[in-house]
Structure 1
Amino acid sequence: MSNSSRGFDVGKINDRGRHPLADTLGLVLDVLVTPASTTDRDAARILLPAGKERFRRLARVWTDGGYTGHLTDWGGPASGVALDIVRRSDDAQGFQALPRRWVVERSFAWLLRGRHLVRVCERRTDTGESTVLWSVTRLMSRRLAARHQLGPARAA
């Protein structure tokens, strides 16, 4: 893997970051793979306008606390997208399931069931994005096939 496609994150881990854009069901619509040194805010400045262009009905985006700062200027009436930042309360201790945040975490769990996404083996970030989207395609096609096999009476 080339060094230009990797970077050190805050935990000093030399890796890549995967930034998904998922719908309310948790299906990944788009993904951006960056060096781990790229902050969530910087990745979202690339991913969100591209997502709004591809998915015109995109009206609301839920993010975690890592997407604060100058990204909040992008959301709003000018972009046509409401940006809601889901934060943990200051007095919370231990694990706390955050509203809407669990949907994306569940999507990551679904994707990581495919062993080829557990480790980053691709040299280029666009290949990493394609690998994630291919996994989503496999997941969606299996769900559609399972629904079709149940038959119309049991699928409802």
Structure 2
Amino acid sequence: MIDSQSVKGADAVGHDTRGYDAGKKINGRKRFIVTDTLGLLLCVVVLSAGRQGRDGAKPVLLDTYLRTRVRFVFADGAFAGRLVDWAAMLLRTTMSIVRKPADQRGFAVIPRRWAVERTFAWLTAHRRIARDYERHTAMSEAMIRWAAINTITRRIARGGPATRQQKRVFTTTS
């Protein structure tokens, strides 16, 4: 699955690598990620937020093509159009555009898309990743990979399913 996320850039982020995402009204960078169906990070590319989804997806799809054997990618409507033909012709990768139902109002979980959205939620849980603080995009990509490794390592170490912490009841002794 492929998706993008715009994040604000700190003052340290150079003006040559930051841009303005008019749709989300964010001045910073845009992260493009490809995940597997479980939501585990496969590839990441960080670009200026001024790049359109279809244009920014090309580097991350090319990186995915060179690093993995993935040849089928789910995407949302922002990646529709000529990108689908480009991926099929040059990368021999099939892109399936997952659209929201026409009668949908408000928020609803879209099948096949929730895994990549959940990955963004996992990544932004790391304080250093919530905003882009890095001067170079390569360092931002490395920090995102580190956050993904940290997340999966904690899940493996936990050894069981996630459980919510129960409310503590304090009793007073007289």
How far apart are 1:87 and its partner, in Å?
0.9
The answer to whether the Cα contact below 8 Å between 2:43 and 2:63 also exists between their aligned partners in 1 is no
2-structure distance, mates of 1:93, 1:79: 36
2-structure distance, mates of 1:92, 1:146: 37
Paired position in structure 2 for 1:106? 118
2:111 match: secondary structure: coil
The correspondence of residues 5-154 of structure 1 with structure 2, limited to 5 A, is 5-10=17-22, 11-56=24-69, 58-76=70-88, 79-147=91-159
| Cα offsets for 1:27-82 (capped at 9, x unmatched) | 111111111001111111111122011002x0210001110121011233763322
2-structure distance, mates of 1:5, 1:77: 29
Shift of the 41–77 alpha-carbon distance from structure 1 to 2, 3 Å rule, reads closer
* TM-score, normalised relative to structure 1: 0.87
| Cα offsets for 1:100-156 (capped at 9, x unmatched) | 111011011111111111121111111110110010111122222222xx6xxxxxx
Letter in 2 for 1:117: I
Letter in 2 for 1:111: L
Unaligned runs of 5+ in 2: 1-12, 161-174
Paired position in structure 2 for 1:154? none
How far apart are 1:91 and its partner, in Å?
2.7
1-structure distance, mates of 2:126, 2:90: 39
Unaligned runs of 5+ in 1: 151-156
Letter in 2 for 1:116: R
Letter in 2 for 1:25: L
Shift of the 5–78 alpha-carbon distance from structure 1 to 2, 3 Å rule, reads closer
Aligned length: 147
Q: % of aligned pairs identical?
A: 39
2:128 match: secondary structure: helix
